[in-house]
């Protein structure tokens, strides 16, 4: 996505849901195996301290990590496809998205807005105004 965005293999992998299905399967396994009756009860009406205590357990932390990974990859995939469709530069947003998903998403949205502003302004400047012969 970052180094070879136009490579056929990259496009094929990004067009597939298989990585998400595999990670969702791992997530489901970890989630089911990490929830106990006590944690289920605590998480049914969660307080921040309950969530912190739950994520302090190794399996629960792995479940949370897979959750973040799936969501960051999903957002990264969306950013990648937006870049492919619009031609907007996405490398910085993909890198940010890999390490801090919401910041990568924000970066892409701001990049999109800036690109739209400059491309629409330059398109308006380069479009010649038509004059009819009656105005001459």
Residues with Cβ within 8 Å of 115's Cβ and at least 6 positions away in sequence, in order, are 86, 88, 89
Cα–Cα distance between 37 and 1 in angstroms, integer?
A: 41
Report which DSSP code applies to 129.
P
Three-class SS state of 56 = coil
- CB-based contact 20:74 (threshold 8 Å): yes
Task: Retrieve residue 17's tokens.
Answer: 């849901």
Summarised one tens digit per residue, pLDDT across range 78-132 is 898 899 899 898 999 999 988 888 999 999 999 999 998 888 766 666 655 544 4
Rg from Cα positions in the chain: 23
Summarised one tens digit per residue, pLDDT across range 23-80 is 999 999 998 988 888 888 877 888 898 888 888 889 889 998 999 888 888 888 889 8
- Would you state the pLDDT for residue 113? 93
Model confidence at 135, pLDDT cuts 50, 70, 90, reads very low
Report which DSSP code applies to 45.
S
Cα–Cα distance between 75 and 113 in angstroms, integer?
A: 18
- Would you state the pLDDT for residue 121? 66
Domain spans, the chain: 8-121
- Would you state the pLDDT for residue 128? 56
Model confidence at 134, pLDDT cuts 50, 70, 90, reads very low
């Amino acid at each position: 996505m970052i180094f070879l965005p136009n490579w056929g293999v990259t496009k094929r992998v990004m067009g597939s849901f298989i990585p998400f299905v595999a990670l969702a399967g791992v997530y489901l396994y970890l989630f089911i195996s990490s929830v106990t009756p006590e944690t289920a009860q605590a998480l049914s009406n969660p307080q921040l301290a309950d969530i912190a205590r739950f994520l302090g357990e190794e399996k629960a932390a792995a479940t949370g990590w897979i959750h973040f990974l799936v969501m960051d990859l999903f957002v990264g995939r969306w950013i990648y496809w937006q870049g492919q469709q619009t031609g907007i530069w996405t490398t910085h947003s993909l890198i940010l998205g890999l390490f801090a998903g919401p910041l990568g998403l924000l970066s892409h949205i701001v990049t999109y807005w800036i690109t739209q502003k400059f491309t629409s302004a330059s398109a308006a400047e380069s479009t010649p105004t038509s004059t009819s012969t009656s105005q001459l």
